[in-house]
Amino acid sequence: MDRRAYLATVAAGVAAGLAGCGSGGAATTRDYDVGTRDSAFVPRRYAAAVGETVRWKNTDVRSHTVTAYQARLPAGAAYFASGGFTTERAARDGFYQHLEGALAHGDTFEHRFDVAGAYPYFCVPHERSGMVGTVVVEP
């Protein structure tokens, strides 16, 4: 193969390998709004609009929960916790007694926010390590 043919072949291969890597391509799309890393939610604070569904994904190797601080929710807001619990006490007990509500690596949890306000939440096993977050829902 002569030098020009070789360079053309290499250039075509590089171009094919880079296809879809630009901004706006599928490679930059996430399938979640809030992820996890070590003992943190990323981002720690997430802004949403009334009626929006927020999706958390465990992107860490350790199991985590998404558990609302019930007493700090806006008036009239629905309680939320991975595992489908209806109270903070039930979410804590379920996790510590049977590991219920734990999201393994790759698992997701979703909640729709219908009331404006701040929604603080935490990870049951990593709360003491500071694994807390807030969804701020704006009208």
The residue-averaged pLDDT of 37-48 equals 97
Q: Is the pLDDT of residue 20 over 70?
A: no
pLDDT at 18: 37
Is 45 strand, coil or helix?
strand
Domain layout of the chain by residue ranges:
1-27, 31-138
CATH superfamily, region 31-138 = Cupredoxins -  blue copper proteins (2.60.40.420)
Q: Regarding beta strands 117-122 and 67-68, do their DSSP bridges make them parallel or antiparallel, or are they unpaired?
A: antiparallel
- CA 114, 116, 117, 122: dihedral to nearest 10 degrees? 20
The residue-averaged pLDDT of 47-68 equals 98
Q: Is the pLDDT of residue 5 over 50?
A: no
The residue-averaged pLDDT of 17-32 equals 52
